[in-house]
Amino acid sequence: MTTEYDVIVLGAGPTGENVADRTRAAGLSTAVIERELVGGECSYWACMPSKALLRPPAALTAARAVAGSREAAGGTLDAEAVLARRDGFTSHWKDDGQVAWLEGTGAELVRGWGRLDGERRVLVRTLDGGELTLTARHAVAVCTGSRAAVPELPGLADARPWTSREATSSRTVPAHLVVVGGGVVGVEMAAAWQALGSAVTLLVRGAALLPRLEPFAGELVTAGLRAAGVDVRFGTAARAVRRDGPQVTVELSDGGKLLAEEVLFATGRAPRTDHLGLGSVGLRDGDWLDVDDSCLVKGVPGGWLYAAGDVNHRALLTHQGKYQARIAGAAIAARALGRPVDTEPWGAHAATADHAAVPQVVFTEPEVAAVGLSEEEARAAGHSIKVVDYDLGSVAGASLYADDYRGRARMVVDQDRGVLLGATFAGPGVGDLLQAATIAVVGQVPIARLWHAVPAYPTVSEIWLRLLETYRDAE
């Protein structure tokens, strides 16, 4: 059986759903192939469950940070209630609602494993063991995302380690959890499970947490984790892992050993392109897919293969994947309808934000929010910059937000153009500062104009005025 559609989407996570939504809105028939749950990693094993785990301890910490509410916020978290609330946010790992939304767009859902089989052709092994052959008149979009990358260590495969999936979906609280990796997943899951009652040891091969962000962000998060009781160890790696019944033994690079109930490896991501049939179009299974700014895959003749979301390795964040999906869907529709892709007034056919305006929040205590280029990245790119730092705790709104508020802000200014290249905030509740910074970076708002964006007093947003004053006074 061969079925023809205008567009075929591989993967029904947030990225694939949004590609389908855009192509259907343009009147293109669209099939979406998914072997797991519609809604993907973010809905069931990443963003939603992880933030559901992190929000209750953040709320409790905020209450304890202010005299008056502190006295009413005694006791410990109810782990059972937190896990139950998390389960609600994952719809108890059922995708009925997401399926209804997708089918409501007019797209057709095909349950099964899809792989490329030459130009515009996709083979599907359905969940009941059948086989389908689908062909695309215009485009195939690969939106299969990424998976946890687990290192090859002696004994690890038999030790049944946690990855991000198990860390966000566990139904019980381990007495002792070892977390390997100092990136976002590592620090967030260390914070969540420590708050829920685990004794957490965090192993970091390097010398800092969150090494891709400004150094002060990692330093403040390290202090926050240690204050919460997490045992953070730098310059320490796992050398081997062994499971004996309910106990895991982690052998360390320094010769020591750790005994735990579970071990989580948060050591990076790999593309879900294994067994995808990339060889049939001149690419290689298991590789990230290199794309242009319309998410068209490079190196494949004919201009029909697209890749959006994690799988193209541009920005492994759900909101960026959805942004790319809107770009890809618009580009696919424009090309299918014979329209140029470079004249659209909203710039909807080019994922320019991926290059220098990616926003990100790390939901630890303190939070970290960043957008654009760090100091190191800006210098490496050859910009002439001025770096402005300010103590967030000295802003009136911050001292009202929490007693003994500790935090820091930085903006990176392009001296030649007088615009903001990047901003980073670390402190309680700073995630709410991020959109203003993102607009300033994306809009290339001149520093002189930002003077006239008056922050309300007394809010933490007054940090913008202090940063601008510091920049002016240093001139």
**Average pLDDT for consecutive 10-residue bins of the chain (475 residues)?**
90 98 97 98 97 97 96 94 98 98 97 97 96 97 97 95 98 98 98 98 98 98 98 97 96 96 98 97 97 96 97 97 96 90 64 94 98 98 98 96 97 97 98 97 95 96 97 86
366-473 classified as CATH 3.30.390.30: yes
Residue-range domain boundaries for the chain: 2-39+95-147+270-353, 157-267, 366-473
What amino acid occupies position 440? A
123 in the Ramachandran plot: left (φ > 0), alpha (ψ -120 to 50) or beta?
A: beta
CA angle 52, 50, 393 (to 5 degrees): 80
Hey, do 2-39+95-147+270-353 and 366-473 end up sharing a CATH topology, with the first three levels equal?
no
Backbone angles phi, psi at 419, to 5 degrees: -130, 165
Q: Which token pair is 281? A: 């179009």
CA angle 135, 138, 142 (to 5 degrees): 75
Report residue 465 CA to chain centroid gap: 30
Rg (CA), the chain: 24
Q: Which token pair is 272? A: 């879900």
CA distances from 262 to 128, 187, 241, 440 (A): 34, 16, 11, 43
At 117, is the secondary structure helix, strand, or coil?
coil
- Which sign, positive or negative, has the C-alpha torsion 367, 436, 450, 353? positive
Following CA atoms 451, 453, 457, 460 in sequence, which dihedral angle do they give, to the nearest 10 degrees?
Answer: -90
* Residue 298 CB neighbour total at 10 angstroms: 11
Sequence-distant contacts of 343-352: CB under 8 A, at least 24 apart: 349/293, 349/294, 350/293, 350/294, 351/293, 351/294, 351/295, 351/314, 351/323, 351/324, 351/327, 352/293
User: Nearest CA to 120 among 26, 2, 238?
Assistant: 2
The CATH architecture annotation of domain 157-267 reads: 3-Layer(bba) Sandwich (3.50)
From start to end of 228-364, where are the E strands? Answer: 231-234, 238-244, 247-252, 257-260, 262-265, 269-271, 305-307, 360-362
The runs of H, that is alpha helices, within 235-317 are none
At 341 the pLDDT is: 75
Decide if 42 contacts 14 (C-beta within 8 A). Answer: yes
At 265, is the secondary structure helix, strand, or coil?
strand
DSSP string covering 372-385, please? E--HHHHHHTT--E
Q: Which token pair is 314? A: 């541009």
DSSP 421: E
Distance between CA atoms of residues 13 and 144, nearest Å: 8
Distance between CA atoms of residues 241 and 219, nearest Å: 29
DSSP 462: G
- Which sign, positive or negative, has the C-alpha torsion 44, 165, 269, 189? positive
Q: Which residue has the tokens 């200014």?
A: 413
At 108, is the secondary structure helix, strand, or coil?
strand
Distance between CA atoms of residues 90 and 73, nearest Å: 28
Q: Which token pair is 377? A: 């990245």
Burial class of residue 282 (count of CB atoms within 10 Å of its CB; 0-12, 13-18, 19+): exposed
2-39+95-147+270-353 classified as CATH 1.10.287.1080: no
Distance between CA atoms of residues 263 and 245, nearest Å: 14
DSSP string covering 151-194, please? ---TTTGGG--B-HHHHHH-SS--SEEEEE--SHHHHHHHHHHH
Decide if 272 contacts 12 (C-beta within 8 A). Answer: no
CA distances from 213 to 205, 227, 331, 362 (A): 17, 21, 32, 10
Q: Which token pair is 160? A: 């049944």
